[in-house]
Amino acid sequence: MQSLLKPFAGLVLVAGVVGAAHAQSPFAKPEQAIKYRQSAMFIMAQHFGRIGAVVKGERPYNKDEVAKNAAVAEEMSKLPWEGFAAGTDKGETHAKPEIWTNAAKFKSAAEKMEQEMDKLAQVAKGGDLNAVKAQFGATGKACKACHDDFKKQD
């Protein structure tokens, strides 16, 4: 168990430092905010994808690995939102204008994804692969719904 906690504790520490730094000073440039949110999304997608490989039968099921990946994805799901600040709709981004013109819907979609990611992390701890598969599907739907409405499909 300790081997699982060390990397996660490091991630939480980094997230806390990053969060504290952003609370003291906002991003100096829009491109920094864009890179921040893209990085958080990338890491979340990587860990979510590892679970997906198990769900699809491409990788063997290992309860501890799935739980670890779900925990990282869940933590990362909380981070990208401050990177969608005003002025970050231009530049190297796939964000649609609707993020800013329909902020309430975007916030609702983000919250839904976070809730589903949290459920996935909780289910993964239980070790029931069928429950993981079901929640993985629900979480994926929440991710897709947000992408359909708010991400440019290049």
Asked whether the predicted pLDDT for residue 13 surpasses 60, the reply is no
Asked whether the predicted pLDDT for residue 122 surpasses 90, the reply is yes
Confidence of residue 21 (pLDDT cuts 50, 70, 90): very low
Q: Report CA 11 to chain centroid distance, whole Å.
A: 13
CA atoms within 13 A on the CB side of 59: 12
Asked whether the predicted pLDDT for residue 48 surpasses 60, the reply is yes
What domains lie within the chain, and their CATH numbers?
Answer: 2-150 (1.20.120.10)
Q: pTM for this structure?
A: 0.81
Confidence of residue 86 (pLDDT cuts 50, 70, 90): confident
